[in-house]
Amino acid sequence: MATNRVLPRHRLGDTDVSVTAVGLGCAPIGGLFSPVDPAEATATVKAAWDGGIRHFDTAPHYGAGLSEERLGGALVGLPRDEAVISDKLGRVLVEHEGAWDLWAEPNGKASRFDFSYEAAFEAHRDSLDRLGLDRVEIGLIHDPDDHRDEALTGTYRAMAELRAEGRIGAIGVGMNSTDAAADMLTRADFDVALIAGRYTLLDQSALDRLYPTCIERGVSVIAAGVFNSGVLADPRPGATFNYTAVDSKLVDKALAIEAVCARHDVPLRAAAIQFPATHPAVASVIIGARTAAEVDDALAMSAHPIPAALWRDLKHAGLLAEEAPTP
């Protein structure tokens, strides 16, 4: 297990909130795809802490509160002032029997969208209860892609008040769609954008509009989904790309990228983790993990030496956008 490692921290926008260069995405410990033993979830969070990670991202949607509960339990006894928690608003939990969506541990609850002003305060209060904390440092509007007007007049207004009162340090959006995210950022005063799967070795669509908007408006990016939900960790038929079955052409492209990496003795996972961090808009890269071993591997890959020639070879082969910043 990695211990006593110090990770760089980067400030979000003009706020006083800073995040470690690598963060832990806590959707997997909420039972994403398959169940997670609660003890293993605790070990995962503690492995991240021992490895220097201090940013932990969760949401009510993740396992209908299980992720928040397990993260909060794992943080008990650790120095609270060192940790930065990002949580999400825009969904509330309702009664629901049986399995739902991608979550493998039914607990009698499910999440549903509610971007109203009142629901934002309800969601924030309930998240704090599940976490067992008196505050979170970052609040994000969760997946408002198809509800932008409602989210701005409701959830955003509530979050802006929480920020003004010092109850949340930084506010932003947590989304997948680059165009919808860019639209949100131009319509309100945000500090941060957590964007999943849109600035990776397979998808650099964030370069088109979103990342230039972030730089122009002083919005920091937290890059999530750097493996595109699996194919960049293990490129093979049957892998997933953004939570659906991967297309054969994308598998072929991932294998071609892996071959370039192999020529430079660099694991594909290392390039996948380190590439997003090279963009000047990116403050942190989020790695989802469900075991301590996965955390240790991600931290090792984030520090693996990568020669500049690897990035040049990827661009020369047409496997990476020419305009993508690289070291």
Mean pLDDT of the chain: 96
Question: Is 8 within a domain?
Answer: no
**For residue 1, pLDDT beyond 50:** no
Sign of CA dihedral 290, 143, 227, 199: negative
In a domain, residue 200? The reply is yes
Look up tokens 């929480």; give the residue: 162
At residue 192's C-alpha, the angle toward residues 12 and 299, to 5°, is 70
- Give 327's pLDDT tier (boundaries 50, 70, 90): confident
Q: Assign residue 290 the CATH number of its domain.
A: 3.20.20.100
Q: Is residue 42 part of a domain?
A: yes
Active site residues: 62
Confidence of residue 241 (pLDDT cuts 50, 70, 90): confident
Q: How many other C-beta atoms are found inside a 10 Å radius of the C-beta of residue 37?
A: 11
Specify the pTM.
0.96
- The mean pLDDT value for 106-113 works out to 97
In the chain, the number of structural domains is 1
8 Å CB contact between 104 and 67: no
Find, among 126, 153, 17, the residue nearest to 61 by Cα.
126
10 Å CB burial of residue 3 (0-12, 13-18, 19+) is exposed
For residue range 186-228, what is the model confidence (pLDDT) as tens digits?
Answer: 999 999 999 999 999 999 999 999 999 999 999 999 999 999 9
The span from the CA of 76 to the CA of 87, in Å, is 17
Q: Looking at the DSSP assignment, which residues form a beta bridge with residue 88? A: 140
Size of the chain, expressed as the number of residues it contains: 327
Whole-angstrom Cα distance, residue 183 to residue 132?
A: 34
Q: Under a CB-based contact definition with an 8 Å cutoff, are residues 314 and 260 in contact? A: yes
Please indicate, yes or no, if residue 150 is contained in any of the structural domains. Answer: yes
Is the pLDDT reported for residue 2 higher than 50?
no
Cβ-proximal residues to 243 (8 Å cutoff; 6+ apart), any chain? 102, 229
For the cut 90, the answer to whether the pLDDT of residue 243 exceeds it is no
- Band (pLDDT 50/70/90 cuts) for residue 4 is low
| Residue 81 in domain | yes
Residue 30 falls inside a structural domain: yes
pLDDT on residue 245: 84
**Residues 119-129: what's their mean pLDDT?**
98
* In-domain check, residue 139: yes
Its domain, for residue 263, covers 16-316
CA angle, 164 then 168 then 169, to 5°:
85
User: For 26-77, how does the pLDDT look when each residue is reduced to its tens digit (9 = 90+)?
Assistant: 999 999 999 999 999 999 999 999 999 999 999 999 999 999 999 999 999 9
pLDDT digit string (tens) for 74-88? 999 999 999 999 999
φ, ψ for residue 28, nearest 5 deg = -60, -35
Domain presence at residue 325: no
Higher pLDDT, 233 or 5: 233
Do 56 and 87 touch, CB atoms closer than 8 A?
no
Residues 6+ away with beta carbon under 8 Å from 37: none
Largest CA distance in the chain: 55
Torsion of CA 121, 29, 94, 99, to 10 degrees: 160
Q: Percentage of residues in the chain with pLDDT exceeding 70?
A: 99
